[in-house]
């Protein structure tokens, strides 16, 4: 039988586990090939992004390089950004050229929902990527430094948004722990939320 190619788009939780499980399930199917595409060369442990923002861990602690994970397996990882999918022609168009497929798994994640809040998409920070987490951490640091210079009563931090989760995971621990870069600051963070409940 001719080789069959399974292409998996995205190496987040969905794509990574699909690749690992297919590799096992197709062990006896010598004619099957598995290609995994992602725009980054690492798997990002998204649920720990807030730890970077609050200064608890370094970016290297929440990423896992993909190539070593698939060494000695039939999963062929390629770093490529998906531009479009030609369903009729059964091919993926990427910034590195095109890849044909017989079977396709789409696991490209999602985008942030701003729930129709005016101005949120232009002015709010999102927290979905390593770049977002580091950018938000740097901004928080800058805000704490500025707040610390304000004369008079202990200043309140710039209001952020988020429910109980954000308060518990980012704001409060960040301000309280002396081990954080801004630990010991006189500033107190205030978190506002548009929703009565946390997201989780």
Ligand X SMILES: Cc1cc2nc3c(=O)[nH]c(=O)nc-3n(C[C@H](O)[C@H](O)[C@H](O)COP(=O)(O)OP(=O)(O)OC[C@H]3O[C@@H](n4cnc5c(N)ncnc54)[C@H](O)[C@@H]3O)c2cc1C
Q: What residues make contact with ligand X under the rule CB under 6 A?
A: 10-15, 37-40, 44, 46-47, 49-50, 81-82, 107-109, 127-128
Q: Which residue's CB comes closest to ligand X?
A: 12
CB of 83 to ligand X, least distance (A): 7
Would you say 50 or 167 has its CB closer to ligand X?
Answer: 50
What are the CA-CA distances from residue 33 to residues 2, 83, 127, 145, 171 (Å)? 11, 22, 34, 53, 46
Nearer to ligand X, 29 or 58 (CB): 58
Query: Of 33 and 128, which has the nearer Cβ to ligand X?
Result: 128
Complex with ligand X: residue 17 or 103, whichever CB lies closer: 17
The distance of closest approach from Cβ of residue 17 to ligand X in the complex, given in angstroms and rounded to an integer, is 8
Distance in Å, CB of 150 to ligand X, minimum: 30
**Residue 50 CB, nearest approach to ligand X (Å):** 6
> How many CB atoms lie under 10 A from the CB of residue 149?
9
Token pair in block for residue 64 = 């896992």
State how beta strands 75-79 and 32-38 pair: parallel
Q: Measured between alpha carbons, how far is 11 from 42 in angstroms, rounded to an integer?
A: 8
C-alpha 2: how far from its chain's center?
Answer: 37
- Work out whether strand 4-9 and strand 103-106 pair parallel, antiparallel, or are unpaired: parallel
CA distances (Å), 139 to each of 123, 176, 181, 191, in order? Answer: 13, 18, 12, 15
Q: Which two tokens stand for residue 172?
A: 């409060």
Which one, 56 or 155, has the nearer CB to ligand X? 56
Supply the minimum distance, in Å, between the C-beta of residue 8 and ligand X: 10
């Amino acid at each position: 039988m001719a080789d069959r190619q399974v292409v998996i788009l995205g190496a987040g939780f969905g794509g990574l586990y699909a690749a690992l499980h297919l590799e096992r399930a197709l062990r006896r199917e010598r004619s099957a090939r598995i290609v995994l595409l992602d725009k980054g060369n690492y798997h990002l442990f998204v649920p720990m992004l807030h730890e970077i923002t609050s200064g608890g861990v370094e970016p290297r602690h929440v990423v896992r390089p993909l190539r070593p994970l698939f060494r000695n397996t039939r999963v062929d990882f390629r770093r490529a950004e998906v531009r479009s999918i030609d369903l009729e022609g059964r091919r993926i168009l990427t910034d590195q050229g095109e890849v044909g497929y017989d079977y396709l798994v789409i696991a490209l994640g999602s985008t942030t929902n701003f729930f129709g809040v005016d101005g949120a998409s232009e002015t709010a920070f999102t927290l979905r990527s390593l770049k977002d987490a580091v950018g938000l951490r740097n901004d928080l640091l800058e805000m704490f430094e500025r707040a610390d210079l304000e004369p008079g009563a202990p200043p309140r931090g710039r209001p952020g948004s988020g429910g109980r989760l954000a308060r518990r995971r980012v704001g409060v621990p960040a301000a309280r722990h002396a081990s954080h870069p801004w630990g010991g600051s006189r500033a107190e963070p205030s978190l506002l939320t548009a929703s009565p409940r946390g997201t989780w």
